[in-house]
Chain A
């Protein structure tokens, strides 16, 4: 693992680019990310990636490093499987998913 604090220095070269997000979504399916995180990244056996909340940080570099190096509890390291550009496009896809309003209360009638 890289030392804490080094990740935020990385910047997504495709930040906000819609075409890159489309390619990232394709990679998200092709590399079986959806098998753990669910279609649309809503969460499955792995956590939701579209709730606007991040276990290991949601900055460009933090998301990139989670994919590149993997994370404990079963997130594989994709650094050896995908070129950096493809990982950045997945980051772009995830960042452009519309998170729900972050309302911490759930109520029933």
Chain B
């Protein structure tokens, strides 16, 4: 074994695990959240010959967000509620199941989850598959046998908390969070012990410094000064139901020992009920995974008036910015700006719009604050604010994570070209019911196409190419050393594109709209495979109107901004595997 191979193996080895180079052991493949694979069998010269080699119906109709894992010739698939975990044997013909795990999950979670009963996937560490059940539990299951090793209640349905987020495991800590920005939760992050499941620490995203774990000596945000920022940026007691959920993706830099994650929207959507910046909603937070200590934080959208969650992934890369090599974090926010930040300090280096944006004219990197167009500020007393871009689905959804190729130096992502009208209303919090206070119909942005797949230069803050799509694009991205970028569309096409030009080289109709994230791996036969879920859902369970066919007592009109989506897709979960 060459030294290079040894180095590569070490680089992708999860804590205590046995993952190999061709495995996909965690949601974004690596701790830097790149969704990049060094596999290169599939190239521009042969991608046109990709073909399906296997498929499996999960038996579940909910939105199939997230992605499979592949470790040691086994594929692990978590379904949406009721959160079945399947383990497929990739060494045998037809990939039969080795086992399946069917946990009990409280069906009441279906009424507490804001936006379909989705799950964003599992994490492999130390021979365990760790993931969250929708009803507020984290479980660890033995990867070899499917035996439940521990189960810990981490969240409270009665307070509006549900748990579709994928955990991140750093050494012996399992990091988890909860959804509920639409239910007025008091958002938090927790660290569990990998061996026992015991909750070792809880760090709130809003509230007093003691609960936020912002200690005077160690908490050093780049732009903000002073103590109790997550308390004084709120009216008294309002922060207790102020949101800041954790439902996106996490990343980790081992040399800095910093864990990065984004927080969701402040609650309610009517901003007049929560004067102030509302820290740390719509923010990125950098913490020590061992004990949750907050090291820095930055708020992308102060006093968010448009439901611009910052739950999207923070991709870690080394880029040359303004002539200087920098260790950066790259984040594509719902608010339409792409941020390139110094990940050691939280300084914003570049912030440019990657879609049409009109709620702010620019981000002032000297102050870190967006320059807001006051005519786009919302509130119950301000009436119906017309044509805000992007819509609250985001310029890019946090549900559809981007990919980064160190070969091209580019980021690849699914984007939405939608704007909205925003009528805020007074909201009343009733525990475990929605706490929203806004009506926000959407319309297509400039050009009429509802989405696009794009390549982005994060050092320059510029779009390099884009492929317009008829519908919003809601899948994650994958990019490989063969310089192929993969993504799926809402009308059910799975596509392979040239990573340098964007040219679509191959596509296949996968049976339902794609809201999941493609992965690639090698099996024991040495071949390169690509896997993805089909199964429209998530927000599109709410917004697509008539793509549901399972309930004779629930018939909906077509979505007004994309009335023919149901012509191309219905719900239904399928795992697909492709190869040359």
Chain A residues with CB under 8 Å of chain B are: 29-32, 34-36, 38-39, 42-48, 51, 53-55, 72-76, 81, 100, 106, 108
Contacts and interface: CB of A to CB of B under 8 A. Distances in A.
A89 B172 CA distance: 55
Given A39-B439, A108-B564, A45 B554 contact: no
B115 interface: yes
B182 interface: yes
A95 B386 CA distance: 32
Contacts of A38: 542
6 closest pairs, A vs B, by CB? Answer: A74-B111, A35-B434, A47-B554, A32-B433, A55-B553, A53-B553
A45 to B, nearest CB: 6
Contact of B554 (A43, A75, A76, A108): A43
A53 B551 CA distance: 10
B107 A45 contact: no
Interface string B543-580: 00110000111111100000010110000000000000
Interface in B401-442: 425, 427-428, 430, 432-436, 439
Contacts of B427: 32
A81 B430 contact: yes
Given A32-B428, A42-B557, A44-B542, A76 B436 contact: no
A81 B434 CA distance: 15
B566 to A, nearest CB: 7
Contacts of B545: 43
Name, among A31, A32, A55, the residue most crowded by chain B CB atoms within 10 Å (CB to CB). A32
Contacts of A51: 553-556
A30 B114 CA distance: 18
A18 to B, nearest CB: 23
A38 B111 CA distance: 13
14 contacts: A29-B425, A31-B428, A42-B556, A43-B545, A45-B114, A45-B115, A45-B541, A55-B551, A55-B554, A73-B108, A73-B111, A76-B433, A108-B564, A108-B567
A74 B555 contact: no
Contacts of A39: 439
A54 B435 CA distance: 25
A36 B433 CA distance: 8
B321 to A, nearest CB: 41
B113 interface: yes
Contact of A106 (B109, B439, B566): B566
Contact of B108 (A42, A45, A47, A74): A74
Contacts of A54: 553
Nearest to A56: B553
A70 B433 CA distance: 12
A47 B557 contact: no
Given A36-B111, A45-B111, A108-B564, 19 more contacts: A30-B428, A31-B433, A32-B427, A32-B434, A32-B435, A38-B542, A43-B545, A44-B542, A45-B541, A45-B542, A47-B551, A47-B553, A48-B555, A53-B552, A53-B554, A54-B553, A72-B107, A76-B432, A106-B546
Contacts of A43: 545, 554, 556
A28 to B, nearest CB: 12
Contacts of A53: 552-555
A47 B550 CA distance: 12
A30 B112 CA distance: 17
A39 to B, nearest CB: 5
Contacts of B112: 74
B110 interface: yes
A47 B553 CA distance: 8
Nearest to A46: B111
Interface string B92-126: 00000000000000011111111110000000000
B107 A74 contact: yes
A32 B116 contact: no
A56 to B, nearest CB: 8
Contacts of B116: 45
A73 B554 contact: no
A39 B108 CA distance: 22
Name, among A42, A43, A75, A100, the residue most crowded by chain B CB atoms within 10 Å (CB to CB). A43
